[in-house]
Structure 1
């Protein structure tokens, strides 16, 4: 890959090279109408220009944030004669590094042909295909940008379900929650959760609720199982997952473990067939997460199914008013 420098500008001070590259790539090459290419977001975004050592401009992108602690990457373009040399990857990772210190999530809209390119840097799909300016696109996101950026030096596709073979160890709650959300956000059909109870600091969070809701509504075969020891805290205090559970009873179910049936001594979460997050004990935020750990996930799923079959529904939660 050629050595490049990446410079950042406001729109008001951006050199003409940024407009020229976007015009060449999006308007002339891809046929995007000019009225769609230039928008009000340019005024609030940071604009990045990648240049070669001799100051030849070769690529651009923009980055802006929203009040929802989300950063958005867009208008990323590399001139045709400089593609395939790693310039786009270097530019993307610079934007991710800049965003990771300020935002908990990064989103972008990827052209269909570029999905694998973004997955290599830790983004996963979060929408079906749609048309934008007549070009097929997918929404993608990274729910733990700081973790992704730190891991990119060790290989591709960090935090991507079924592609990232790393074992992610964690010893603090923020890291654990970032890994948990990254797993749940990629679930296509199955989420099985086992814990002593649905602790408010772990599971009674808006983002977690929205990820669960999206999974439950995504497909007619979606399945969310919550298996816990004790429902007393949930009866005494409102919980976002319990409210969601009672609104989507055909997609979500909660059961209580049988006191006389053997049960696991460590909590865990399973996502589809390869994702897992396992904690050393119920009271500590330490353990391991995996995004392509099919063998271990299968063993935990077998144990979960046995506990689930012996469990009973919560009559107390069923009787709570909506």
Structure 2
């Protein structure tokens, strides 16, 4: 992965972008190149022979874009490496936030990197997109269930050994989504010691409703642990939240709603939520009935 000089490396950038966007995705060539290109920070992924495999850019408007990897080279982590390089450059410039316009099929890719959807879908060059944002560091606004799910997916992807979830009754519409369940499963089956602790206000409702998180947890009982609050004060707590052990957090002020704030670079919030979670966890009861289902 190298930083590109636009004047020097223009032919390499063009080879990738016109192959991916103009030929493969049928974007008009006049829309592919713009006046921002000479002003942007570009990265190039090169093979051992110097052939360009991928490219992306960071604009002066603090937006990541033109993320392209040649089809034969996809699935090898090149996109993730380019995205990480652009985020590192944004941090070096001390930008508080970066954004991007994600093609709809790529929303999960950017969610795993900590980007949160913002606003409704829209079309750009005839292709469906949605704006996504990431704070550097800090929390981004969470607007809806899809945005909250994106943060949870990112928390699971960035966690090292622990995830904590505080929920009213297993959060229908969030903890039963396939993208969230898949992210929790991937974390749970990693090699090494790790755990997912789930703290509930109401343990009976998920059991009656067949919450899909329960069968997953029952297949992995050494990773998942559930407890239900007993203190009446805890039972009246209005919020819901999640955290991991690498500084990521999601906080929803009203647990029956999805809006709030979250991100993978909010260490103060993650520490605060974990301390509160641990205090409540110690005075709550284990949900032994879940193991018997």
TM-score normalised by the shorter chain: which range applies?
A: 0.5 to 0.7
Q: Which residue of 1 aligns with 2:109?
A: 141
Q: Which residue of 2 aligns with 1:67?
A: none
1:180 deviates by 2.7
Q: Which residue of 1 aligns with 2:53?
A: 75
- CA deviations over 1:150-193 (Å, ceiling 9, x no partner): 467xxxxx36xxxx213312333332222332333322221100
Of residues 272, 275, 285, the one that matches 2:258 is 285
CA distance in 1, matches of 2:246, 2:43: 38
Q: Which residue of 2 aligns with 1:258?
A: 230
| Larger-Rg structure | 1
CA contact (8 A) 1:279 1:286 kept: yes
CA distance in 2, matches of 1:235, 1:151: 35
Report the 3-state secondary structure (helix = DSSP H, G, I; strand = E; otherwise coil) of the residue aligned with 1:202. coil
CA distance in 1, matches of 2:53, 2:88: 19
Q: CA distance change for structure 1 residues 147 and 52 in 2, over 3 Å: closer, same or farther?
A: closer
1:178 corresponds to 2:150: yes
Q: CA distance change for structure 1 residues 19 and 120 in 2, over 3 Å: closer, same or farther?
A: closer
Superposed CA RMSD: 4.4
Q: CA distance change for structure 1 residues 93 and 239 in 2, over 3 Å: closer, same or farther?
A: same
Report the 3-state secondary structure (helix = DSSP H, G, I; strand = E; otherwise coil) of the residue aligned with 2:173. helix
CA contact (8 A) 2:166 2:200 kept: yes
- CA deviations over 1:193-212 (Å, ceiling 9, x no partner): 00111022110111111101
Q: CA distance change for structure 1 residues 236 and 75 in 2, over 3 Å: closer, same or farther?
A: same
CA distance in 2, matches of 1:262, 1:52: 55
Please give the TM-score of this superposition, normalised by the length of structure 2. 0.62
Q: Which residue of 2 aligns with 1:316?
A: 289
1:169 corresponds to 2:137: no
Q: CA distance change for structure 1 residues 245 and 20 in 2, over 3 Å: closer, same or farther?
A: closer
**Aligned pairs (5 A) from 1:169-318:** 169-260=141-232, 262=234, 264-318=237-291
Which fold has the larger relative contact order, with Cα–Cα distance below 8 Å and residues 6 or more apart in sequence? 2
CA contact (8 A) 1:107 1:141 kept: no
Q: Which residue of 1 aligns with 2:78?
A: 110
**Aligned pairs (5 A) from 1:44-63:** 45-46=24-25
Report the 3-state secondary structure (helix = DSSP H, G, I; strand = E; otherwise coil) of the residue aligned with 2:109. strand
Task: Return 211-220 or 172-181, whichever deviates more.
Answer: 172-181
Q: CA distance change for structure 1 residues 211 and 304 in 2, over 3 Å: closer, same or farther?
A: same
Report the 3-state secondary structure (helix = DSSP H, G, I; strand = E; otherwise coil) of the residue aligned with 1:203. coil
Aligned residues: 231
Q: CA distance change for structure 1 residues 19 and 307 in 2, over 3 Å: closer, same or farther?
A: closer
CA distance in 2, matches of 1:240, 1:199: 11
CA distance in 1, matches of 2:166, 2:13: 52
